Amino acid sequence: MTEHTDSQFRVESDSMGDRQIASSVYYGIQTLRAIENFPISGIKPLATYVDAGLIIKKATAIVNGELNCIPQDISQAIVQATDEILAGKFRDQFVVDVYQAGAGTSHHMNINEVLANRALEILGEEKGNYKRVSPNDHVNYGQSTNDVIPTAIRIGGLLALSKTLHPAIDSAIASLENKAVEFQDIVKSGRTHLQDAVPVRLGENFRAWAQILTEHQNRIYTASGDLMVLGLGGSAAGTGLNTHPLYRARIIEVLSELIDTPLEPAPHLMAAMQSMAPFVNVSGALRNLAQDLVKISHDLRLMDSGPKTGLKEIQLPPVQPGSSIMPGKYNPVMAEMTSMVCFQVMGYDSAIALAAQAGQLELNVMMPLIAYNLIHSIEILGNTIAALTERCIEGITANKERCLAYAEGSLALVTALNTHIGYLNAAAVAKESLETGKSLRQIVLERGLMSETDLATVLNLEQMSGILPLRTE
């Protein structure tokens, strides 16, 4: 119920009393109370999470209109309001801090109120006339925070994956594969324990990273299958109270069409409401990806270290000056940024795991934290991989001469002699080379352990650094 005191304010009422609200805003009294109750971080809901909620409200308005649960004109006005906001209007009206009331009631009501008030305007009414269009009785018909929010997390996660993370991984894999081809003939020293190891191909380093990302992509696809199973229709406690008998099946059909993804109803609505396992599963896949991205970013930094006192086997493209005091210095900032984002994702994953086990009985009230951390993790990982690819990987060049010098000077070349002169003889050769500075070739020939022709064949760097093909017979 709303009263108008002057043109600048309206008065809205709820079960706790009356409050003045600026006439210009589209949110209502419950959102206002949330603004006052939760001045915590200043972080507003992620755009993708808002989109997910709006898409759900559009679908519910369509279905409830079809089933005559709400009047057709109200159904159409709600749909129009959601389309306008999805197109970019009124985005500043979603204002509740991400750290808020348990389960996400405040954010949910923020969406309901904005849609109700915009629908009122579409119908020629004034904002706040909830007797005509109610946030609860119309926009939220047959729904509860308890089934809408876990569904919004699922939809938001799917949207973020398809729009941000998967395209970024695809581009990174393609770029790494291109570099693998470009650098395939460059031989360098391998390193294990940060010590000299047998020679490898620089191109295979990049091909290995491409394979690692491909495998992570597959793991994320598998995990995200859990997000396609929806408990929408469970209402307050998973029983479907106050929903039309045909609502549950129809809402899945409409949502599938709206996001062009094959969704399915959960086999047990209470289970879908109570368990946060799907989000933990996806978050774990993201954490796994983040861990390998840290490894790759650290490898890039090591291989680019220098330019005079490090490895400097590759050159990462300089993108900004690296020091406020040392002229001419350039730092591997894209790789550094990547590690920082990955550490944040790992932290979010830990928070999601803690929140997921904190549910009680019919509900997990920690869903707002899970929603923000999961969708934000997907998006910052996607943005990071895209930036790393464009601003770093695509511009990497190789120092072929330095790579070859390290490979030729590595004591680990002696490994190739094991099957010809024995491990102990090879170890003695390596020790003498380190103590005297003589080459491995010189010492082997001086000791008469191999002929010069055989030695040249065994210590062929190109042959040693190639990956043996898989053979089954």
Rounded to whole angstroms, the Cα distance separating 253 from 258 reads 9
Q: Which residues pair with 360 in a beta bridge?
A: 363
- DSSP summary character for residue 360: B
Pick from 266, 238, 277, 226: nearest CA to 363: 238
Residue with tokens 């899945």: 252
- Exposed (0-12), middle (13-18) or buried (19+): which is 240, by Cβ within 10 Å? middle
Side-chain-side CA neighbours of 409 within 13 Å: the count stands at 8
Rounded to whole angstroms, the Cα distance separating 395 from 389 reads 9
Sign of CA dihedral 375, 379, 382, 384: negative
What is the residue type of 216? H
Note whether 138 and 35 are within 8 A (CB).
no
For residue 468, the tally of other CB atoms under 10 A from its CB is: 5
Pick from 351, 345, 412: nearest CA to 377: 345
Omega within 30 of 0 (cis) for the link into 327: no
- DSSP summary character for residue 41: S
Rounded to whole angstroms, the Cα distance separating 336 from 320 reads 13
Note whether 202 and 404 are within 8 A (CB).
no
Q: Which of 24, 323, 350, 451 is catalytic?
A: 323
- Asked if 323 is an active-site residue, the reply is yes
Q: Please provide the DSSP assignment of 163-210 as one string.
A: IIIHHHHHHHHHHHHHHHHHTTT-EEEEEETTEEEEEEEHHHHHHHHH
> Which long-range contacts link 304-308 to residues 24+ away (Cβ below 8 Å)?
304/332, 304/335
Residues carrying an active site annotation = 323
